[in-house]
């Protein structure tokens, strides 16, 4: 059967992905080396992408991403499709762990619930879609803060007062920043009754293929066993779900 894929389009997107790998500029020689193509072909691809607005030439033979991606990137994050993409992931996760699950986006200074899945049992903790969660004292919020850049994080702390919601809330800025560094390193966060004394949670990020955080998912409930005895089991399930979430972003789940 003849392939329905266009190799030139795939190669053009591979060129664009080079920027996601940390490059700010690209030349024909860079492109040729990265893709294993000759210089003439590399030049043709770069100038074609420039003509389409995907790239812009900033010096002779030197290209950067075009500003069209600033608009497109905002649209894809704001088009409302993320909850639908993540819902099957949450449904599978809730069946696996037997506890409530949720996903969030970050809006200004709060984590916002955009999707949830509930366990098949009579008693469980629930949350409303659209609920806004304080960032400094919730598993989701701390995860978002941990994956922010330092300037963005500083702006958040300049505007927010670290109020003691429970006796476990971290209200010392230095201690909280230390925990955020640990969260970034270990790749997950917990809520040990820090916002409400009887709510516990474990959360992990959903990342793009190049490491940008686009959502967070968690398992939460009313028992401290969630982050004590059950944490390793829950984390394993969450990491599998996060991988499925990343695949869903690219249409592979």
Identify the band that residue 1 occupies on the pLDDT scale cut at 50, 70 and 90. very low
User: Mean pLDDT throughout 37-46?
Assistant: 93
**Mode of pairing for the β-strands spanning 189-192 and 213-221:** unpaired
What single string gives the DSSP state of each residue in 109-126? TEEEEEEEE--SSS----
pTM of the model: 0.76
Classify 68 as helix, strand or coil.
helix
Closest-CA residue to 32 (of 20, 22, 21, 18)? 18
Closest-CA residue to 83 (of 110, 100, 101, 99)? 101
- pLDDT tens-digit series, residues 184-219: 999 999 999 999 999 999 999 999 887 889 999 999
More confident residue, 105 or 18: 105
Length, in residues, of the chain: 253
Question: Residue 243: is its pLDDT beyond 80?
Answer: yes
Q: For CATH 3.30.450.40, list the domain ranges present in the chain.
A: 80-249
Structure tokens at 212: 């940008």
pLDDT at residue 216 in the model: 97
In the CATH hierarchy, which fold is given to the domain comprising 80-249?
A: Beta-Lactamase (3.30.450)
CB 193 within 8 A of CB 224: yes
pLDDT at residue 72 in the model: 66
Identify the band that residue 4 occupies on the pLDDT scale cut at 50, 70 and 90. confident
The C-alpha atoms of residue 29 and residue 187 are separated, in whole angstroms, by 36
Identify the band that residue 79 occupies on the pLDDT scale cut at 50, 70 and 90. low
Backbone angles phi, psi at 126, to 5 degrees: -120, 165
Structure tokens at 15: 């060129």
For domain 7-71, give its CATH number from 1.10.10.10, 1.10.150.120, 3.30.1370.60, 3.40.50.1000: 1.10.10.10
Other C-beta atoms lying within 10 Å of the C-beta of residue 43: 16
The C-alpha atoms of residue 151 and residue 63 are separated, in whole angstroms, by 27
**Phi-psi map region of 251: left, alpha, beta (phi>0 left; psi -120 to 50 alpha):** left
pLDDT at residue 212 in the model: 87
User: Mean pLDDT throughout 21-40?
Assistant: 89
CB 241 within 8 A of CB 89: yes
Closest-CA residue to 102 (of 225, 206, 216, 253)? 216
More confident residue, 251 or 19: 19
- pLDDT tens-digit series, residues 117-171: 999 888 788 999 999 999 999 999 999 999 999 999 999 999 999 999 999 999 9
User: Mean pLDDT throughout 43-72?
Assistant: 85
Question: Residue 50: is its pLDDT beyond 80?
Answer: yes
Q: For CATH 1.10.10.10, list the domain ranges present in the chain.
A: 7-71
């Amino acid at each position: 059967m003849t392939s329905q894929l266009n190799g030139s389009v795939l190669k053009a997107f591979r060129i664009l992905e080079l920027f996601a790998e940390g490059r700010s500029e690209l030349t024909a020689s860079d492109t040729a080396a990265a893709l294993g193509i000759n210089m003439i072909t590399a030049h043709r691809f770069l100038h074609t992408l420039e003509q389409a607005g995907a790239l812009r030439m900033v010096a002779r033979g030197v290209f950067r991403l075009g500003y069209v991606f600033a608009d497109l990137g905002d649209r894809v994050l704001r088009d409302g499709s993320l909850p639908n993409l993540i819902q099957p992931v949450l449904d599978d996760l809730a069946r696996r762990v037997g506890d409530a699950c949720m996903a969030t986006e970050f809006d200004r200074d709060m984590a916002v619930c955009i999707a949830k899945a509930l366990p098949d049992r009579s008693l469980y903790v629930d949350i409303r879609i659209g609920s806004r969660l304080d960032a400094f004292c919730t598993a989701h919020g701390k995860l978002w803060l941990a994956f922010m850049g330092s300037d963005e994080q500083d702006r958040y702390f300049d505007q927010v007062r670290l109020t003691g919601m429970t006796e476990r809330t971290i209200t010392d800025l230095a201690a909280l920043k230390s925990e955020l560094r640990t969260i970034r390193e270990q790749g997950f966060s917990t809520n040990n009754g820090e916002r409400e004394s009887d709510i516990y949670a474990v959360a992990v990020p959903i990342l793009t293929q190049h490491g940008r955080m686009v959502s967070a998912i968690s398992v939460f409930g009313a028992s401290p066993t969630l982050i004590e005895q059950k944490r390793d089991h829950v984390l394993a399930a969450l990491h599998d779900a996060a991988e499925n979430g990343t695949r869903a972003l690219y249409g592979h789940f």
